[in-house]
Amino acid sequence: MTVSPNHVVVPCNICGSASYKVIYEAQAGPAHTDSRTFRSSGDAPLTDRLVECRECGLQYVSPRLDAALILEEYSQGDDEAFVSQVAGRELTFARCLDVVEKQTGRARGRLFDVGTAGGSFLHVAAQRGWEVEGCEPNQWLCDWAAKHYGLTVQPGILDTGRYPAQSFDVVSLWDVLEHTPDPKDVIRQCHDLLKPGGLIVVNYPDIGSWAARIMGRSWVFLLSVHIYYFNRTTIRRLLSDSGFDVVKIRPHVQWLQLGYILKRASAYVGWPASMAGRVVTWLRLATMQVPYWVGQTLVIAKKRVS
């Protein structure tokens, strides 16, 4: 197939195989040739080609935008849509932190959040007594975290050179891993940051979930901003190969405003979602916080002690 100059064909990120089968062909020609805005609230449906590794089963986008261009796009622009939902995110993270703290025996130590966006998880953790740090490629979101929460967030991607090895008790990636050009490298850097026995916490949209299987190409997490698609088998393989043992894996329920959910659903459902949005606005229910699940999965793994 023809590949545009800004796009690259990539091998499997887990096993390195170049053998794949096509799951979905590209919908907008062989590959995107225009610049797209990568951002935390990006909701454009996936139109690139999705393939599956014949060796390990990892699904991923190939060809895809060059990694340097992806990072450049994430670093620019504002994201008012994302920060409009901080109340729901704080509620979600408070419940998630309950799950994490069960694994730590309620002990609180040093925590690093990769791709922290507006800093809601760091804020909730700090209120619980955790010593928190994080990084975020988007400068506008870093500034927002400083203004809204009083947090100092490192601009840019994870840079282990800024921190001593084995200096954190928990490293988290909330809705992040599927966005990264090299998930294996990110997980290995998290491994370097963690103390022996430390925990890595990852949530991701599970393409093996029953919701994803039923919805097919209309699955709401098939997005242009997502370039890797894990299931429980491939996420376990990635973590195990990187020196972790999974200790918990479960569905991940998130909370957002009802109006926001319906607005995002309109790209997939069309007029029924738009009509429902008008109704809930008329009933003054648009800002009501509601739980939703369409395949999100939470996995917690412990750094293997050699």
- Which pLDDT value is given to residue 183? 98
For residue 77, what pLDDT is reported? 86
Q: What tokens were used for 158?
A: 């994870």
**Strand, helix or coil at 242?**
coil
pLDDT (0 to 100) of residue 41: 63
Q: What's the pLDDT score for residue 10?
A: 96
Spans of all domains in the chain: 7-75
pLDDT at 53: 98
The pLDDT, as a whole number, for residue 289 is 87
Q: pLDDT tens digits for 215-259?
A: 999 899 999 999 999 999 999 999 999 999 999 999 999 998 888
Residue-level pLDDT at 269: 66
| CB-neighbour burial class of residue 34 (10 A; exposed 0-12, middle 13-18, buried 19+) | exposed
Q: Which residue pairs from 184-188 have beta carbons closer than 8 angstroms and sit at least 24 positions apart in sequence? A: 184/13, 184/14, 184/238, 184/241, 184/242, 186/114, 186/158, 187/238, 187/239, 187/242, 187/244, 188/242, 188/243
20-24 vs 50-53, strand pairing mode: antiparallel
pLDDT of residue 107: 87
State which residues of the chain have pLDDT below 70: 1-3, 28-37, 39-41, 268-269
Global pTM?
A: 0.91
Are 31 and 246 a contacting pair, CB within 8 Å? no
